[in-house]
Chains A and B, each alone.
Chain A
Amino acid sequence: MNYLKVIFFFLVLFNFNELKADNENLKNQITKNLRCLICQGQSVYDSDSEFANSLKVVVEEKLNDGFSEEQIYLFLKDKYGEWILYDPELNINTYILWLLPILLFLIGGAIIFKSFIFTKK
């Protein structure tokens, strides 16, 4: 019986750890996708500025309040604009950004394909 108790104790203990770690991982994942507005070129996760440290606290608080990742992004986008997100949305301003690599890939592919066919002939 005692044996079972010990197993049960560890089972509960490890489950709690997992729960805690999950939140921490999600927090890191979110802060890595946020741009630090003072220290350009650094993510909030990497930065140690006053602003970034406060933002880490905000993300943690929001996660504890039951906000989802998406909701946190929306909340911050509302406050600071899209600039704060590293992953830009597909809209009129970013069409070129998203479509240019695909376009270049297709053009390059077409060139290779054509030259391949012509050399074969």
Chain B
Amino acid sequence: MRSKFFPFILILIFIIIFLFFYKGLSNYNIYTPNINVEKDIPLFSANLFESNVEVNSKEFFDPKKLYLLNIWSSWCVPCRDEHALLMDLSKNKNITLIGLNYKDRPDNAKNFLNELGNPYSQILVDETGTKAIEWGAFGVPETFLIYKNKVIKKYIGPLNQQLLVEIKSLIK
């Protein structure tokens, strides 16, 4: 009896294992962050770009206002591409744009803003990149929509025309 069923069971086990591994081949193995989770904004303190005054994130963000936090840097090429869209968005009165200057030199950042315009009402400085980690970011550019001290939407990579339309519809 044993010799009859044994090979079949063995083959069955191998087929099951093979299927698991085969299915695993098509799994997407690159980090894909969870975008649609509402999270409280992180607690941190950072210096302001212009005045070098230290501010606390809890006091800095007004719960009644809608914010768009954009992580940018003068050395980041995609930031340059999305800048025109941010300039466009800054004309909107319902939203306040905040910049987080990521691992940048102050001079380069100033030149960047002089050249392309400054869409931000305030800019926070992140010299070491640690503040971006508090936000759960892992690169530049990244953009966060903040309302009632919660991150309601997160965009990874540069914004495009389509996302801008989406943001504008969310503002209304």
Contact = CB atoms under 8 A, between A and B. Distances in A.
A37 interface: yes
A38 B139 contact: yes
Interface stretch (A5-13, A19-27, A46-54): A46-54
28 contacts: A37-B31, A37-B138, A38-B139, A40-B29, A40-B30, A40-B31, A50-B103, A50-B129, A50-B139, A53-B129, A54-B103, A54-B132, A54-B133, A55-B133, A57-B128, A57-B130, A58-B130, A58-B133, A61-B130, A79-B133, A79-B134, A79-B135, A80-B33, A80-B136, A80-B138, A81-B33, A81-B34, A83-B31
Contacts of B113: none
A107 B133 contact: no
A100 to B, nearest CB: 8
A35 B30 CA distance: 11
Interface of A, helix, strand, loop or mixed by DSSP: helix
Nearest to B10: A111
A96 interface: yes
Interface in A47-82: 50-51, 53-55, 57-58, 61, 79-81
Interface of B: 13, 17, 20, 29-31, 33-34, 103, 128-130, 132-136, 138-139
Nearest to B136: A79
Contacts of A83: 31
Of listed A53, A54, A61, residue having the most chain B CB within 10 A: A54
Contacts of A37: 31, 138
B33 A54 contact: no
A83 to B, nearest CB: 6
Contact of A54 (B29, B30, B129): B129
A61 B20 CA distance: 41
